[in-house]
A and B are shown apart, each in its own frame.
Chain A
Amino acid sequence: MKSLEELRKLRKESLDQVDMRRSGKGTRIVVGMATCGISSGARPVMMALVEEVKKRNLQDVTVTQTGCIGACRLEPMFEVYRTGEEKVTYVHMDAEKAKKVVTEHIVNGKVVSEYTIGAYEK
């Protein structure tokens, strides 16, 4: 270790790998990972979310999983919880769509309405 800068660089890289372990406040993205979700492709969606959140270095965003959300025909799906906002449920997701939700909704604060359960039900 030759300098403080070198240490700080290493810290930044290492932090991404462990900061999941802080108790999460802020935005939670919850992916349905029951059998139905997984068999229709929830796993790549989950990984895409995890990667995108890291890539953009988003603080206070946790990607977590849950069991069956209860609408198997709409899988893969995930829900976004933000403090002070209503829960938004995205359905029929894939990795690409998931990345778009991160960009639009999580970063810019605009709900991608075309993917939401509301749009689908109509």
Chain B
Amino acid sequence: MEELVSKALTEENFQQLDRQIEKVQGSKGPLMQVLTQAQKIFGCVPYEVQKHVSERLKVPMSDIYGVVTFYSQFSLIPKGKYVISVCMGTACYVKSAQPILDKISEIIDTKSGETSADGNFTLEATRCIGACGLAPIITVNEDVYGKLEVTDVPGIMEKYKD
């Protein structure tokens, strides 16, 4: 995992982050915006990135760590190559999203909220993504699979085996 983190910490990525910081200079309360960009650029917001942001924005590390760990969109370690999000909004839940989550977890041998040992998959139970007409629904990166049955799951997961 640490290897994955250090891979993301390239000079280029820091420069890209600096450009984003430049953009919000002068606006009020820019920390969240900067962290959102950092999450996008690095795929995570580890200690080194927090420290960098702290120095640039003159915001104490403690505040930054507080914000990063408060919001679910920020993560300290990188996510897997494929992020599988199982919608656990109410509409999906009442239409049996839990067994679908269980099935995926079983196939990729990864618990909900964790990344698989090979770094290929991150399994998440997400909040409502608002496509309740397609419930129950999962997304794998940008791909959307709706109106699922547990029996559809192995076929879908097969596509992401490489």
Please determine if A and B sit in direct contact within the complex, based on CB atoms under 8 angstroms apart: no
Listed in ascending order, the chain B residues whose CB lies under 8 Å from chain A are none
